[in-house]
Chain A
Amino acid sequence: MMPQANVLVIAPLRPEREAELRGLLASMNFVPGQVNPANALVPFGQFSQIHVARFVILDDQTTGDLQKAYGIPAPKYPLSLAFLADFDGPADAFRADLAKRAGKGLERIFSCCDGFAPGADLAGWMKEREISSATNYVNWVGRTVTQIREEDALRLTIESHLQAKSAAFAEKNPREIHATLREFLQTEIRAGRLALTPQPATPFGWWLRNAAHFIAVPLLLLVLSPLLLLYLPFFAYQLRSREKSDPEIAPRVEACYEEQLATLEDYDVTNQFTAMGSLKPGAFRRWTLIFLLWLLNWTTRHIYTRGQLARVGTIHFARWVFVNDRRRLLFASNYDGALETYMDDFINKVGWGLNLVFSNGVGYPTSRWLVLDGSKDEQKFKYFLRRHELPTNVWYKAYPGLTAFDLKRNTLIREGIEKTHLSESELRQWVALF
């Protein structure tokens, strides 16, 4: 299995070059926000390892909320450019590949940022400015772009074969269907019309680190549990007293901002989402969030690795990243459907999980005991999310037209076709995938 990795590069802009940068980024798109995979600057389509990527200017309009809510002077953060990518294989190889094949274009983009001189070591410059996620979510750990494309081709081949031979298949039982299709596909593969590349070996170093992480987090929790238990009553008191007084800042966004965001959406069956906000002031919220995201990251690394984040099966990749000395949080995701559907899924399926994380942000709709209410104040929550959302300047997804569910179904089709022995009920379920 080849696990995915990701990068996030954040670099402050040179103010005098902001307009130029915006123009450059816009020139990469074929419709607003949707990158042309063959654009001249960073031809994402040529990188067979990239799943999703984006450029976004982190123009957070909500930094003044600290002043509004707590009377704390709004910090001045320099306007920055962020580059995010999720890809197969290790980050070092990715950076080198990027510098080699898109170096010129990236130089043009990054030369609008502080501290970049053309001719500098691009990969090194990026690495220096990288920030790792507090929590990272991958819909299906180890499913490569190659695998996704091969499995999509597999499904389409089967579907058109079933359609062409519908009379012959009409009365077959599941076992006959499976056997006939297996035979047909073996012919297709032998003829070179279809490929199902075997899973590569899991890198040993990755496996070891992953196993160590799997054990270390619960172990550490176990060791700390007496202390945590002792602290719990104090924590509850601190939490509740804050929750009762933390102000909400969740007005409906201005129509023009709403339009600016919506113009970037709903061209593909999947959309991007980038949002940013300030943490509530003080060590309590900061350490609460650090602890929670640390726990959440354990679940996304070891539990939610095959198609679902709790009940939500529509997220391809997502991450939560601390920036600016853990005073701000950046959230980026790639989700299926329109934003309204996404937010409803969030509220109805994992409202408690949203509260857990985002209630530590300034202005979040009032929550109770960290998991209750909050997002269940549906309209305020939606306004809050939209208000913190940032227009994503450039977004790439390697497999337009495919949802996370499509990918799951295609993988199940492939797993079924590669098995010679399936039980009667497994065969029935498999036949229902078409």
Chain B
Amino acid sequence: MLPAVDYSDVQGLVRFGFANMTEAVYLLLNVRDPQAARAWLAQAPVTTATETNPVPSTALQVAFTRQGLEALGVSDRVIAGFSAEFLSGMAGDANRSRRLGDTGANAPSAWEWGGSGRIPHMVAMLFAERGRLDGWLRSIRGAWFLEGFNEMGWLTTSDLGGREHFGFIDGISQPLIDWNRTRTVSANGNQLAYGNVACLGEFLLGYPNEYNRYTDRPLLDSSDRGAENLPNAEDQPGKRDLGKNGTYVVIRQLRQDVRAFWQYADEATRTAHETGHGVAEAMVGRRLEDGASLAPLSGASIAGVGTTGSEAKRRQDVRLNQFNYATDPDGTDCPLGAHVRRGNPRTPDLPGNPSGILSELMHMLGFGETSLHEDLAASVRFHRVLRRGREYGPGLSPGEAIQPAPPGDPERGLHFIALNANIERQFEFVQNAWMARTKFDGLTEESDPLLGNREPVRGCPFTNTFSIPRKGKVRKRLMEMPQFVTVRGGAYFFLPGIRALRYLAEAGGA
């Protein structure tokens, strides 16, 4: 029996989306006076993952960049134990930007925040039920807070009732975290069926991940100053675990050109002889109205789908998520390049559903493929992220969006927030290999229809097409698709566990 998770040591955002708190603001902070900042952090009312009845009506979460840890006075030796991506930062070097598609209009040099010289030390995320955010802000921004921090900016949010700005229901598919630690994975075995349950270690440091290994994080000696209050490292006796119950938070401010999206989709629907919202739905991979997948539901149940919450919630989850793309290898139901298919191709470790050891062995050796695309994007279980993003700016219906923009049309978009224990293998992999790459799943000349930057790729005549395969017919291909989403800011943060937060608040002290 593995030790249970101490929810009181985990920040609540990992377990809850705080859906009842429809108001939120993210404060980008710089440490002004380390002593005051530490004093504030030491007593900050950070919301934990403990279940309460009634649920809280306000919440506070805090996370730090590398620069923030340095500003608080955390020692270099301790900081060096964090992951290389975190230390380098989202915009830390041009090589990373190239991989993430942060080039051209997405280049960090043009970002509002997160680019060179504009990296916040910390983010304080405030959530509140309707009408309560102002009061919550006032109570948080007390004397120590204002003395300790400079506010670089506020990322405000808006509540669009569960839809994102293009009009689609957002956050339908999330991995189900194995909080009870009952999932067992063997390092050498293949998972033959796609499942939605993820090992705790994929989303919290200090626990085994999908490889049944502990992801690297800073470990301290018990004798190190301040370490005595940190949890023990489960895998290394005698070590204290600064990462335990913490995780990394990826924040990206994504501006959405809603008018360009619907105007393009509207025009393309006509020229491609589609009906209704056909083209937009093909680009997304789900129905506009109810979020149903374009790929047919599977008859068999999927581990971790429809297994939690109320009966109605379970039924809804089955209706929206009990499917994979194995029955649609050519993308004639849901285009191969549709946004949700790119975001999660729903593949197991081995294609072809092998039965028996011999069949499994043959597949492992690369034989028995039945379709060309079958094994191009395998093992999604190593590349899941937990999404906690929120919209910003006023909403716009598809009908309004096809009208020309009035003067002073405000900016709107998504504060994309992803939680993961290994930024490189989870967020960066998805962003690079599945979203930005024009060669995803055997496609060519197209990047993600929503997120792609359409920047040229050497040797490729186009990067701005979108293919809609059709059964037994020539595919439809949309051309000259513009860029709909532009990155306006972003950073990698460490979201510490509660005890780790107290350590960080004290570590730099005299």
Contacts and interface: CB of A to CB of B under 8 A. Distances in A.
Interface of A: 156, 159, 162-163, 166, 169-174, 177, 252, 255, 258-259, 262-263, 265-269, 304, 308-313, 336-338, 340-341, 344-345, 348-349, 351-352, 372-373, 376-379, 399-403, 405-406, 408-409, 412, 428-429, 431-434
Contacts of B359: none
B77 interface: no
A433 B329 CA distance: 12
Contacts of B349: 348
Looking at A252, A267, A304, A432, the one whose CB has the most chain B CB atoms below 10 A away is A432
Contact of A378 (B425, B429, B432, B459): B425
Interface of B: 84, 87-88, 93-96, 98-99, 187-188, 211, 213, 215-216, 273, 330, 349, 363-366, 372, 375-376, 378-379, 382-383, 422, 424-425, 428-429, 432-433, 437-439, 442, 444, 457-461, 469, 472-477, 479
Contacts of A434: 474-475
A340 B429 contact: yes
B311 to A, nearest CB: 36
A347 to B, nearest CB: 8
Contacts of A308: 366
Contacts of B433: 337-338, 340-341
Contacts of A406: 439, 444
Contacts of A177: 473-474
Contact of B364 (A352, A400, A412): A352
- Chain B interface mostly: loop
20 contacts: A166-B476, A174-B472, A259-B93, A266-B99, A309-B366, A311-B366, A341-B433, A344-B383, A344-B429, A348-B378, A348-B382, A372-B187, A373-B188, A378-B211, A379-B213, A400-B458, A402-B459, A403-B439, A406-B439, A406-B444
Contacts, number: 145
6 closest cross-chain pairs (CB), A and B? A401-B459, A400-B459, A262-B95, A376-B187, A310-B366, A401-B460
A302 B96 CA distance: 39
B95 A310 contact: no
A171 B234 CA distance: 62
A431 B472 contact: yes
Given A171-B473, A406-B439, A255 B87 contact: yes
Contacts of A156: 461
Contacts of A169: 474
A406 B187 CA distance: 32
A262 B211 CA distance: 25
A337 B437 contact: yes
Contacts of B213: 377-379
Given A265-B95, A379-B216, A340 B459 contact: no
Given A340-B429, A344-B382, A373-B188, A432 B444 contact: no
B229 to A, nearest CB: 27
B457 A269 contact: yes
A404 to B, nearest CB: 10
Contacts of A351: 188
B216 A252 contact: yes
A407 to B, nearest CB: 11
A263 B95 contact: yes
A401 B439 CA distance: 9
A257 to B, nearest CB: 11
B457 A262 contact: no
Contacts of A336: 439
Contacts of B363: 311
Contact of A268 (B366, B375, B422, B459): B459
A344 B273 CA distance: 40
B426 to A, nearest CB: 11
A313 B375 contact: yes
A431 B475 CA distance: 8
B84 A252 contact: yes
A173 B93 contact: no
Nearest to B350: A311
Given A266-B99, A341-B433, A344-B429, A173 B382 contact: no
Contacts of B476: 166
Contacts of A400: 458-459
Nearest to A259: B93
A91 to B, nearest CB: 27
A385 to B, nearest CB: 13
B428 A172 contact: no
Given A255-B87, A344-B382, A434-B474, A311 B375 contact: yes
A313 to B, nearest CB: 7
Given A267-B458, A338-B433, A163 B479 contact: yes
A115 B428 CA distance: 47
Contacts of A348: 349, 378-379, 382
A71 B51 CA distance: 55
Contacts of B432: 338, 340-341
Given A252-B216, A265-B95, A377-B213, 13 more contacts: A166-B474, A171-B473, A311-B364, A311-B375, A340-B424, A349-B375, A352-B364, A373-B187, A377-B187, A379-B213, A432-B475, A433-B372, A434-B474
